[in-house]
Amino acid sequence: MGGYHLGVRVYVEVVIFNNLCVDLLLILSTLTLRRSRASKLRVGSAVIVGAAAATLYPIVPRGFAIAIRALLAPLMTAIFYKPKKGKFPVRAADHMLTLFIFAALTFFLGGATEGISRLLGIDINSYATLGGIALALVMMLAAVRGVIFSKARARDVRTVTLYAMGASVKCRALADSGNLLVDNFSGLPVIMISGELEKRLGHLPTEGYIDVNTVSGSSRLRLVKIDSVSVDGERRKAMGAVSDFIGDGLDVILQANMFSGA
């Protein structure tokens, strides 16, 4: 956010404080919009890198300044965001969407800050008030994220055992009453399994395809043969639909009639 000065003496500690708080706000805002989490180490590292680069930006040679502008957002995104599991095109698209959101928020906040500075006739980057406001927004955002992810933790996640290809694998399954999929040919319930889980089991035989409708749109998933799933101590016959969009550390989304309490 450098490049706009009105003759105000700027203290380096104020610049560092402002950049640390603003970068933390941008990262948490991006993660919240993506409904994603990141470790404190990842977030802290990205904040430090961003603040250091922004602090050095006004004093480095022009060539380095251009490089900072071009590379800082991709570098920070690569540090704080871990793409969802799946095949490379899925991970790449997921990462690029996060980078776009982070860059857009950065551009919007930078423009808003400069606009307010011109309106007030002062460079608000030079005052710790900017960092204080950003820090207050961070605290509010942290509270919102706490509510969002406390609801996510309240979901019914169980450990089940999936049997296929002569192997058995324990996995984390979401007991999701919204999954009502049934294979029209066999009449068996259809569970959704992650691409990573299928890799652990070996390439499962394809039995056909099934159309799935979700809030994000419709898609056609590959239907694969599995032997059974042990849920609540009871083995149940089922088919599997392979999806690269199962996240949050889950391997399986159970069908509504496969668990107690359905």
Using pLDDT thresholds of 50, 70 and 90, give the confidence band for residue 262. very low
- Distance separating the N- and C-terminal Cα atoms of the chain: 53
On the question of pLDDT at 26 being above 70, the answer is yes
- Residue 254 contacts residue 176 (beta carbons within 8 Å): yes
Q: What is the pLDDT of residues 187-233, one digit of tens each?
A: 899 999 988 888 888 888 888 999 887 655 678 899 998 989 988 78
Q: What is the pLDDT of residues 109-160, one digit of tens each?
A: 888 887 887 887 777 777 788 888 888 989 998 888 777 666 555 567 888 9
Using pLDDT thresholds of 50, 70 and 90, give the confidence band for residue 1. very low
User: Once rounded to an integer, what is the mean pLDDT over residues 17-26?
Assistant: 92
- 67 Cβ partners below 8 Å, 6+ apart? none
- 81 Cβ partners below 8 Å, 6+ apart? 30, 31, 34, 36, 38, 42, 95, 98, 102
C-alpha span between 230 and 235 (Å, rounded): 4
Taking residue 150's Cβ as centre, other Cβ atoms within 10 Å add up to: 9
- Residue 212 contacts residue 219 (beta carbons within 8 Å): yes
Pairing of strands 190-194, 239-243: parallel
Structure tokens at 94: 């997921």
Q: How far is CA 138 from CA 25, 38, 65, 173, in A?
A: 5, 15, 28, 33
Any idea which architecture 157-258 has in CATH?
Answer: Beta Barrel (2.40)
C-alpha span between 142 and 138 (Å, rounded): 6
The pLDDT value recorded for residue 177 is 62
Using pLDDT thresholds of 50, 70 and 90, give the confidence band for residue 7. very low
The pLDDT value recorded for residue 224 is 92
Structure tokens at 246: 């199962």
C-alpha span between 202 and 200 (Å, rounded): 6
Which residue ranges make up each domain of the chain?
12-153, 157-258
Q: How far is CA 167 from CA 92, 228, 235, in A?
A: 31, 11, 14
